[in-house]
């Protein structure tokens, strides 16, 4: 299609190959009560290696979306049995934001008011059914590319660039939600606050680069030893937090003890320079109702660990 309808640059073809490659894992749903329209669209989308799901009514579309929460894009007709495409879209947008799902409205009529109506109901884009296969592919690709970019940027915004661990934003958005789910399900949610001892002295004595290398090295050790489903966060500076969902106290302590005894004995950037950094850890009790209160408990325990001589775990 690309080569038939208009010339394409090499860069553009490269982008397209890249898109098709990512399409192999991308689910798209078409909602239309016409079996002919469904079959035609399905065939065209499958040419670009998309996984296509079909629905013939709004009700069925909502059900299939529930069964396939990883659907990335929906192409929806405005005339559907039961409810209009606009009504279905409004319902979809209650649970699926623009950050995770793209919707393209589609219609066979030339009514100029349709585009605005679709966009106002929560669509990203609008297409006439008489559009060329090339235009269909371009709109689908652009909407999927935009979603991929949002996913990449969101991932970046949740990571600490120095260590690759999650950051505070992730703690207060994602882990906070996880905490609520765990407590609602009657499960424990523990937090370990971890701080390198006398880190300022290491900076002052060996320089900031050595300090940075040590922070990175501790972060890697946390990642390597992390129990399943746990989340490691760099709070800032030389302080880390590990969220331990549904992990009992002995297992949490075992992980923390292993971490404590795995501290590097030499400068991670200079094997010949020996130093033996230690860490202090505060561990919350696991049944605090809110993440904020659990973090306060872990913080108080960390403070006690520091006050009572450092290089220890306090619960």
Binding residues vs ligand GH3 (CB under 6 A): 195-201, 203, 208, 211-212, 215, 237-238, 306, 310
State the Cα–Cα distance between residues 234 and 236, nearest whole angstrom. 5
Report whether 31 contacts 77 (CB < 8 A).
Answer: yes
Q: Is 94 exposed, middle or buried (0-12, 13-18, 19+ CB in 10 A)?
A: exposed
Contacts of 195 (CB under 8 A, 6+ apart): 238, 239, 240, 279, 280, 281, 302, 306
**Shorter beta-carbon distance to ligand GH3: residue 85 or 282:** 282
State the Cα–Cα distance between residues 185 and 179, nearest whole angstrom. 10
Report the nearest approach of ligand GH3 to the CB of residue 281 (Å).
12
**Shorter beta-carbon distance to ligand GH3: residue 186 or 309:** 309
**Shorter beta-carbon distance to ligand GH3: residue 73 or 298:** 298
Report the nearest approach of ligand GH3 to the CB of residue 201 (Å).
6
CA–CA–CA angle 224, 248, 250 (5° rounding): 75
Report the nearest approach of ligand GH3 to the CB of residue 211 (Å).
3
Report the nearest approach of ligand GH3 to the CB of residue 289 (Å).
29
Report whether 270 contacts 209 (CB < 8 A).
Answer: no
Report the nearest approach of ligand GH3 to the CB of residue 173 (Å).
22
Report the nearest approach of ligand GH3 to the CB of residue 214 (Å).
8
**Shorter beta-carbon distance to ligand GH3: residue 238 or 299:** 238
Report the nearest approach of ligand GH3 to the CB of residue 168 (Å).
13
**Shorter beta-carbon distance to ligand GH3: residue 107 or 213:** 213
Query: How far from 124 is each of 40, 146, 273, CA to CA, in Å?
Result: 22, 11, 57
**Shorter beta-carbon distance to ligand GH3: residue 147 or 219:** 219
Report the nearest approach of ligand GH3 to the CB of residue 260 (Å).
14
**Shorter beta-carbon distance to ligand GH3: residue 64 or 310:** 310
Q: Of all residues in this chain, which one has the CB nearest to ligand GH3 in the complex?
A: 211
Report whether 74 contacts 101 (CB < 8 A).
Answer: yes
**First and final C-alpha spacing in the chain:** 64
**Shorter beta-carbon distance to ligand GH3: residue 48 or 199:** 199
């Amino acid at each position: 299609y690309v080569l038939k309808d208009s010339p394409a640059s090499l860069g553009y073809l490269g982008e397209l190959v890249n898109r098709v490659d990512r399409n192999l894992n991308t689910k798209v749903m078409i909602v239309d009560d016409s079996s002919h329209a469904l079959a035609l669209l399905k065939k065209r989308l499958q040419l670009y290696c998309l996984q296509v799901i079909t629905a013939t009514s709004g009700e069925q579309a909502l059900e299939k979306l529930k069964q396939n929460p990883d659907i990335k894009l929906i192409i929806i007709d405005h005339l559907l049995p039961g409810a209009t495409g606009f009504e279905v879209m409004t319902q979809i947008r209650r649970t699926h934001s623009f950050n995770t799902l793209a919707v393209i409205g589609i219609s066979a009529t030339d009514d100029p008011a349709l585009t605005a109506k679709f966009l106002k109901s929560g669509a990203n884009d609008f297409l006439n059914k008489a559009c060329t296969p090339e235009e269909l592919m371009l709109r689908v690709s652009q909407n999927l590319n935009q979603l991929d970019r949002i996913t990449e940027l969101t991932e970046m915004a949740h990571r600490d660039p120095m260590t690759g661990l999650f950051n505070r934003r992730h703690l207060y958005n994602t882990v906070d939600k996880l905490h609520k789910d765990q407590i609602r399900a009657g499960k424990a949610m523990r937090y370990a606050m971890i701080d390198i001892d006398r880190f300022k002295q290491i900076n002052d004595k060996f320089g900031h680069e050595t300090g940075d290398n040590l922070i990175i090295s501790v972060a890697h050790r946390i990642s390597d030893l992390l129990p399943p489903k746990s989340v490691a966060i760099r709070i800032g500076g030389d302080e880390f937090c590990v969220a331990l969902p549904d992990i009992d106290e002995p297992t949490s302590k075992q992980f923390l003890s292993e971490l404590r005894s795995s501290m590097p004995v030499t400068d991670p950037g200079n094997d010949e320079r020996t130093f033996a950094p230690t860490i202090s850890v505060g561990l919350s009790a696991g049944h605090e109702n809110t993440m904020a209160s659990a973090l306060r408990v872990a913080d108080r325990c960390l403070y006690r660990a520091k006050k009572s001589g450092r290089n220890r775990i306090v619960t």
